[in-house]
Amino acid sequence: MADPKGFLTLRRAIPGRQAVEDRVRHWREFYGPVPEAAVRTQAARCMDCGVPFCQGDSGCPVRNIIPEWNGLVQRGEWREALESLQATNNFPELTGRLCPAPCESACVLGLVNEPVAIRHVEQTIADRGFAEGWVVPRPPRRNSGFKVAVVGSGPAGLAAAQQLRRAGHTVVVFEKNERVGGLLRYGIPEFKLEKSVLDLRLTQLEAEGVRFRTGIDVGEDITAQELRAEFDAVCVATGAGAARDLDVPGRPLEGVHLAMDFLTSQNRRLAGDAFTETVSDARDRRVVIIGGGDTGSDCAGTCVRQGARSVRQFELLPQPPAGRAPTTPWPLWPMQLRTSHAHEEGCDREWSVATTAFSGEDGRVQRIHAARLERQVFADGHTDYARLPGTDFELEADLVLLAMGFTGPVKSRLLVDLAVQLDGRGSIATDGAHRTSVPGVFAAGDAHRGASLIVWAIREGRDAADSIDSWLRAG
């Protein structure tokens, strides 16, 4: 640190978003450019802590050595910073865009000031690495002779594949869709992640020798037995695609869709691939999104860009406090009100709302019926939210998107045939080292962890790769 008291004098700044009226007219990312000096200044706010909580249990899941690259960026040693970042994180350009940055809520500077803009520094390092051509393939020095199949090409699968390849193994990634990327490609809206960014990274993986086989639904197109026979190890990274549904009257009506179908459809459209028209269009519609999380927010941004008449978001839980809730003191991930870009773009939020029914005509949804909730303490002492009598209301809606989270992996033929044990939540059960109940079969990412952050998917992929590598070497 050039200035050990930089954190006192320098203020946090993150890139500005393009004005709402402009950004909703296109699908591209909408953060303005930031001069190099400004990013270095942000990095200079890092206190280079003796105990960097950004690395701790509440901090960065991939264990980015944040103070190290903050120091390097501050001194302008961008390439070194990239090396440091890539040593822990295979895809910093993705986490730099998409991560909710638990590192920042654990940042020590956040105790007394605003935290360091870690995520932005990360993204800048990564983007600069690509722009300068520093992101080069790092093929292994020698081949191990082992073959590993990775099923699923989401962030967990890709991270596992890259790590395994670099350890010298022959790696084949299977993807059921026609393009590689899984949730990254189909689930994340273009305005949050331009797919060209993903493609650049995939180029590196291919150059390192990772082989991709798309359009193959493993378990159907190739049997589990065939897979086991061909490969020395299998890593299942198929994600947690089973969405939570809403079992209320009127659910079968046309116009009530799962959020992920909606988002996928839009991404396909932009990519020029086949998509389902009815699902993807919010133009002129009154949209209600059920579920207050990130997926809901992505839907809202997409709807706005598609030209929706109105967008409204229902959340079951009450409105969290504006600041850190006392139940989640620093450095824990704070329970607090978060306002995403989509909320700026014209999306109204309602809290403590339970949807009770949909109704419509001609098989098409027109109305949504709901009631307010209140926290109640029951006789046995447990607390829950219950409907408040007399608060029923209804709202006109001609597109309803269900963004209520995921229950776990889809119970595919692959899982059945592999005969891996599942845990209580329906995810693939593993020991501490990503080993499933079937020797040689490993699991990583949401398929194992349940729906979670991209950064966790990367961590899972890396850890599983380590474990597979050790297992293979141990023979």
Partner 1 sequence: MTEKQGLYDPAYEHDACGMGFVAHIHGVRSRDVVDKSLELLRNLSHRSAVAADACTGDGAGILLQVPHAFLRRVCGPLGISLPDAGSYGVGTLFLPSRRADRLICERMVEAAVAGEGCSVLGWRDVPVDDSVLSGPTRRARPAMRQIFVAQMGVGQMGVGREVDTSSSFEISLYVIRRRIEAALREIPGSDCYVASFSSRTLVYKGMLRPDQLARFYEDLRDPDLASAIALVHSRFSTNTFPSWRLAHPYRFLCHNGEINTLRGNLSWMRVREAIMSSARFGGRLAALLPVCGENQSDSASLDNALELLTLAGRPLAHAMAMLIPEAWEGHTTMSPERRAFYEYHASLMEPWDGPAAVAFTDGRQVAAVLDRNGLRPARYVVTSDDLVVLASEAGAVAIPVENVRAKGRLEPGKMLVVNTTQGRILDDEALKTELASVRPYGRWVAEQRINLAELVAKNGANELQLRDERDARGQLQVARSETEHDDRTLSLQLLQRAFGYTADELKMVLGPMADAGEEPAGSMGNDTPLAVLSRRPQLLSSYFRQLFAQVTNPAIDPIREQLVMSLAINLGPQSNLLDETAEHAKQLRIAQPVLTEQAMSAVRGVTDPTLRAVTLPALFPIASGIDALELAVDDLCRAATRAIADGCGILILSDRGISADQAPIPSPLAVAAVHHHLIREGLRWRVSLIAETGEAREVSHLALLVAYGASAVHPYLALETVAAMARPEATGDKPHGAAAQERYVKALGKGLLKIMSKMGISTLQSYCGAQLWEAVGLSTALVDRHFAGTPSRVGGIGMELIAHETLRRHSDAFDTASITTRLDPGGEYQYRVQGEHHNWNPMTIAKLQHATRSDSYSTFKEFSQLANDETRRQSTLRGLLDFVERDPVPLDEVEPASAITRRFCTGAMSFGSLGKEAHETLAIAMNRLGGRSNSGEGGEDPARFGTDRNSAIKQVASARFGVTAEYLVNAAELQIKIAQGAKPGEGGQLPGHKVDAVIARTRHSMPGVTLISPPPHHDIYSIEDLAQLIYDLKAISPAAAISVKLVAEAGVGTVAAGVAKARADLILISGDSGGTGASPLSSIMRAGSPWELGLAETQQTLVINGLRGRVRLQTDGQLKTGRDVVVAALLGADEFGFATAPLIVEGCVMMRKCHLNTCPVGIATQDPELRARFTGQPEHVVNYFFFIAEEVRELMARLGFRTMDEMIGRTDMLRALPSSDNAKAATLDLSALLHLATPASRARTDSVARRHVRLRVDHSEEDGGLNGRLVELAQPALERGERVKETLPITNSDRAVGATLSGEIARRYGDTGLPEETISFRFTGSAGQSFGAFAARGLSLELEGEANDYVGKGLSGGRLIVRHPRSAQFIPDQTVLIGNTVLYGATSGEAYFAGVAGERFGVRNSGAIAVVEGVGDHGCEYMTGGTVVVLGRTGRNFGAGMSGGIAFVLDEFGEFEHGGQCNTGMVELAHVTDRGELELLRRLVEQHARYTGSARAKRELGRWERAQRLFVAVVPTEYRKALERRADADAATAARRGLVIGEIGSARHG
Which residue's CB is nearer to partner 1, number 38 or number 332?
Answer: 332
Which residue's CB is nearer to partner 1, number 133 or number 439?
Answer: 133
Q: What are phi and psi of 356, to 5 degrees?
A: -105, -30
Contacts of 458 (CB under 8 A, 6+ apart): 61, 62, 89, 90, 91, 94, 95, 155, 156, 159
**Residues 242-261 close enough to bind partner 1 by CB under 8 A:** none
H helices present in 75-212, as ranges: 78-88, 92-98, 102-106, 109-112, 118-132, 155-166, 183-186, 195-208
Contact at 8 Å (CB) between 144 and 474?
no
By CB under 8 A, residue 67 contacts partner 1:
yes
By CB under 8 A, residue 112 contacts partner 1:
yes
Which residue's CB is nearer to partner 1, number 59 or number 241?
Answer: 59
By CB under 8 A, residue 166 contacts partner 1:
yes
Q: Which of 135, 115, 6 has the alpha carbon at shortest distance from 71?
A: 6
By CB under 8 A, residue 186 contacts partner 1:
no
Q: CB of residue 440 vs partner 1: minimum separation in angstroms?
A: 20
Which residue's CB is nearer to partner 1, number 272 or number 381?
Answer: 381
Which DSSP state fits 248? Answer: S
Phi-psi domain of 149 (left: phi exceeds 0; alpha: psi -120 through 50; beta: other): beta
Contact at 8 Å (CB) between 465 and 106?
no
Q: CB of residue 139 vs partner 1: minimum separation in angstroms?
A: 8
By CB under 8 A, residue 49 contacts partner 1:
yes
By CB under 8 A, residue 157 contacts partner 1:
no
Q: CB of residue 63 vs partner 1: minimum separation in angstroms?
A: 5
Q: CB of residue 345 vs partner 1: minimum separation in angstroms?
A: 36
Contact at 8 Å (CB) between 408 and 239?
no
By CB under 8 A, residue 417 contacts partner 1:
no
Contact at 8 Å (CB) between 5 and 107?
no
**Residue 400, SS3 per DSSP:** strand
Which residue's CB is nearer to partner 1, number 65 or number 98?
Answer: 65
Which residue's CB is nearer to partner 1, number 157 or number 331?
Answer: 331
| H/E segment holding residue 262 | helix 259-271
By CB under 8 A, residue 108 contacts partner 1:
yes
By CB under 8 A, residue 142 contacts partner 1:
yes
What are the beta bridge partners of residue 242?
A: 408
Site for partner 1 (CB under 8 A): how many residues?
A: 47
> Rule CB under 8 A: which residues touch partner 1?
4-5, 7-8, 47-53, 55-59, 63, 65, 67-68, 71, 75-77, 80, 83-84, 87-88, 106, 108-109, 111-113, 138, 140-142, 144, 166-168, 329-332
